[in-house]
Amino acid sequence: MSLLRVVYYSRQRVGRQQEAIADQLADILQASIANNRQHGITGAMIMDHRWVVQVLEGRPGPVTTAYQRIACDARHSDIVLADQTTVDERRFPYWWMAGAAIEPDMGDLVRRWCGDEVFDPSRMPPRRLVDLTEAVVTAYMERAPVPVPRAAAQHPQA
Ligand SMILES: Cc1cc2nc3c(=O)[nH]c(=O)nc-3n(C[C@H](O)[C@H](O)[C@H](O)COP(=O)(O)O)c2cc1C
């Protein structure tokens, strides 16, 4: 089955405090997981005090519809479609949508993937954005005191 992977970045409008970011991320993820599982969409997103990066993957129709809806959401702005590619396999087959805040102590990860102290997705190639998203989400889940439920049990392998 042909799959579409969309990668975008945007400016977040949820506030600069880590707590506000975590709260909003939780709200967004709750709605995303419920909707995405109905439409066979998987992916991941990361957010810091300035930016959002999200990867959406699934059948082209549902992914495009979801992207258009997400792009109208006032919790972010200045959306830039960084990449839109047909792929054979999902990069995030286990998550209807995983999400993580880039926390202040993730400097090593940011340096490794961004080649800089400062996270600026507008200066990163799409492939690196996907790599960084995966690395941040994985690091975040590994440190979570309560394991974040994965979609593995629920996800129909594409
Ligand atoms: C950064 C960001 C990412 C989002 N990602 C998704 C997503 O993957 N799937 C989704 O259904 N909604 C996502 N949303 C939320 C949608 O914009 C919208 O609020 C939601 O789909 C409405 O769902 P509802 O009609 O079930 O309330 C995202 C919103 C933001 C700000």
pLDDT at 149 over 60: no
> What local confidence, expressed as pLDDT, does residue 147 receive?
53
pLDDT at 76 over 70: yes
CA pair distance 21, 50, nearest whole angstrom? 10
Mean pLDDT over 132-143 rounds to 90
Q: Checking phi first, is residue 43 left (phi over 0); if not, alpha (psi -120 to 50) or beta?
A: left
CA 64–ligand 1 middle distance (angstroms)? 13
Q: How does pLDDT run across 39-63, given as a tens digit for each residue?
A: 999 999 999 999 999 999 999 999 9
Which option is the CATH number for 3-143: 3.30.930.10, 3.40.50.720, 3.30.70.100, 3.90.78.10? Answer: 3.30.70.100
Cross-strand partners of 100: 46
CA pair distance 81, 9, nearest whole angstrom? 7
Mean pLDDT over 72-99 rounds to 97
pLDDT category of residue 144 using cuts at 50, 70 and 90: low
Q: Is the pTM of this model over 0.85?
A: yes
Residue whose CB lies within 8 A of the most ligand 1 atoms, among 4, 11, 27, 28, for a mutation test:
28
Question: Could you tell me the residue ranges of all domains in the chain?
Answer: 3-143
Indicate whether residue 25 lines ligand 1 (CB < 6 A). no
pLDDT at 108 over 80: yes
CA pair distance 76, 151, nearest whole angstrom? 26
